[in-house]
Structures are given as C-alpha cells and as structure tokens.
A = this chain, B = another copy of it.
Amino acid sequence: MKINYLMPTRIITGENCLYAERQFLSGLGKKALIVTGNNSAKISGAYDDAVKTLEANGQRHVLFDKVMANPTDACVYEAGLMARREGCDFILGCGGGSPMDAAKAVAVLALIDLSKEELFSAAFDRALPLAMIPTTSGTGSETTPYSILTDSTGSVDKTPMKRSVSSPLLFPRLAFLDAKYTIRLNRNTTINTAIDALSHAVEGMLCLRANHLSNMLAKEAITMIMDCMKDLLAFPAENPAAFPPEKREKLLLASSIAGMVIAQTGTAVPHSMGYLPTINWGTDHGRANGLFFKSFLSWCREKEQDSADKRIPALCSALGTEPEQFFDILELLLGPHEKATETELQAWSKLPMKNAANTYIKPEQKDIERIFRESLG
C-alpha cells in the first residue's frame, strides 16, 4: 500500500465563518490582494464580507477584480505586478474556480520574476500565503495544489491551451466554506459545478495514483453529491434560493472533499478531453467533463474485464447505483449534448491527452476518438 498524502489547508465551514473565525486570517499578513472576477464575489456577498473581516482585523487590502472565466497567463501576470507594486503580503482568492486558480499563480508572481515556462514547470520556491473563499461548489481549488490557467499561445499552433501549475506551495493556508455565498447560483451553475465536483471524485477513483485515503475521500464526496441528485434534478429554476440550503452546504463541502481527492490523484482523461469544448466553445468546465462520463465509464467497464485492476464496482458502490441508472441521472442533468463537427472530432482525437497516462487504464488514440464520437458526435 503506497500512499503519499498531503492536504495542509485549514478548512473552516459554517455560516459567517469568515468573520467569526477571522483570527485565522489575521496571521496571514498585513495587506491582502483580493483576487476576484468582476461579478460573482460581489453579488454573492463574499467580497463585502472579506472587506469587513479584513478591516476588523486591521488588515489593509487592494482589489484585483479582472479575473475572467478560464483565466489567462496575462491576467495573472498583471495581478502579480499589482500585488508587488502595492506591497501585498498575502492573497485572498474569492469566487469560483477561475479567481481561486488565478490567485494561486498571483501568490507566486507577486514574489518572483518568472517566465511563463518557469511558472508552468513550477520553478519557484516560495509563494505568498493564500486564503480562499469559494462562491461555487465545484472546483475544489481551495483544497488543491493546482492552478489551471489558459496559456494564450500554449498549443503547437499557438492557439490557447489549458495548462496547470502544480506545487505544494499552492495549497491555500485557509479555506472558508460558507454556503450562503452559493444560494443565488442558478440552475446551470449549480448543476455544472456539482458535476465538476462529482467528476473530481469519480476520476480520482480511476487515476493510477488513487490510494486508500483518496478513495475514502472520493467515496464520501460521491455519496454526498448523489444525496443531492433528487434536488438537483428538481432545481427550482425560477427561484434558485428555494434550492434546499442544507443541500447547498453539502455540495460545498463535497466539492472541497473532492478537491482533497484530486490533490492526491490528479484527474483522469475526461478532464483533458473537457478542456477542448471549454476552450473552443466556452462550455462550462463541469459540464464539459460530464459530457464524456457515460462513454468514458462504459469504456472503462469494458476494458477492465481483461484487467486485474477492477474499479467500477467500488465506484458503483459509492454512487449507490448501477452504471446505467447513474448515466440516466447524469444525462437528465446535462440535457442534449453539444455536437462537434467531423473536423473537430478528427482534430481533437489526435491531440495529446495529458491525463491519459494518469488514468488506470490508458486509453489509446482510437479509444479517445470513440469517447469523443459517442459523447459529441
């Protein structure tokens, strides 16, 4: 049994936990750069709470609120410069996965001059302390050592490509989980982020590096998310605030637990595949992963017939359903799939899939093509 487990983030949860437990924040520094998008942190109330809390702690702050969805390298370099110019000594990431992932890179760039390649190869030895306030329940970025960025000229043909920075230095010191910031999330965002969290836990169980501790966490996250499925399917689209608050709370904690999973295991091939609809069509990250699950899991089930390494039974036990029933629920949540053109299908199937080698059964190019075709054909 080989394990190498690390998740050093302090997780603080509960209504108004940021203000109530503000003494933990006060140890982080004297001046924060608050890294957010231009919208959700403010609408959710998280930004106001952050400001109130920092002021109560006697900590100064400046705001960088230009993080876009799928943040670019240019964005984090700009924020890093701002942190440096303003003399910030800690970073507060506030929002969904994009602001939190950006905040992590900013924590490094605030301290060190790095080329883009140095950043992506984690050629750094320090980072400012980070605190995170997630306002969605999907990314799990608050408990991972990863920053996923869009490298604007990363591909062979100089088109944009998702790339990740991975370093234990990027684990946040603090994660404040307050589900009140998620109560206004609409049907699409609630469902897509839930699928994202679910995909982390499910893929975590199907990664080569899965181990006893990561599987324990994955099963817990999966059980929690599946326990919210009935409510997700019946989401009150006209009144998101009517979605049960205790399920919001459960989804938020489950997404952090799923983050703890991928912090150990990384993700499997659906995440690599999902980046393509996201980058090319703007498909939400969680949805983009979900689109491949039925085909990917069916393929796993077929392939593991001939393998000693059987994982689908344990996954089904965590899901509490047989695969077919799970697919039915998932497809109801997703609705009709986006369709790729034949050109896209052929081009995407030939691209290198970084996480293929991390998947417990390594898919070949023909397998990737099959999963693309079944999912988006």
Contact = CB atoms under 8 A, between A and B. Distances in A.
A14 interface: yes
A14 B2 CA distance: 5
A310 interface: no
Contact of A14 (B3, B8, B249): B3
B249 A1 contact: yes
A213 B8 CA distance: 14
Given A216-B220, A220-B216, A12 B8 contact: no
Nearest to A8: B8
A6 B2 CA distance: 23
A114 interface: no
A360 to B, nearest CB: 18
A167 B90 CA distance: 23
Interface string A1-40: 1111111101111100100010000000000000000000
Contacts of A8: 6-8
A253 interface: yes
Nearest to A7: B7
Contact of A212 (B4, B17, B253): B253
B13 A2 contact: yes
Contact of A13 (B1, B7, B13): B1
A55 to B, nearest CB: 23
Contact of A3 (B7, B11, B217): B11
Nearest to A246: B1
Contacts of A6: 8, 10-11
Given A4-B21, A17-B2, A21-B4, A11 B213 contact: yes
Given A212-B253, A216-B216, A12 B21 contact: no
A13 B17 contact: no
A217 B249 CA distance: 19
Contacts of A2: 13-14, 17
A223 B241 CA distance: 38
A217 B260 CA distance: 13
Given A212-B253, A216-B216, A5 B14 contact: no
Given A212-B253, A253-B212, A5 B1 contact: no
Interface string A244-276: 000001000100010000000000000000000
Contact of A253 (B1, B11, B21): B1
A144 to B, nearest CB: 15
Contacts of A17: 2
A143 to B, nearest CB: 10
Given A2-B17, A216-B216, 20 more contacts: A1-B13, A1-B14, A1-B249, A1-B253, A2-B13, A2-B14, A3-B12, A3-B14, A4-B10, A4-B21, A5-B10, A5-B11, A5-B12, A6-B8, A7-B7, A7-B8, A11-B213, A212-B253, A216-B217, A216-B257
23 contacts: A1-B13, A2-B13, A2-B14, A3-B11, A3-B12, A3-B13, A3-B14, A3-B253, A4-B10, A4-B12, A4-B13, A5-B10, A5-B11, A5-B12, A6-B8, A7-B7, A8-B8, A11-B213, A212-B253, A216-B216, A216-B217, A216-B220, A216-B257
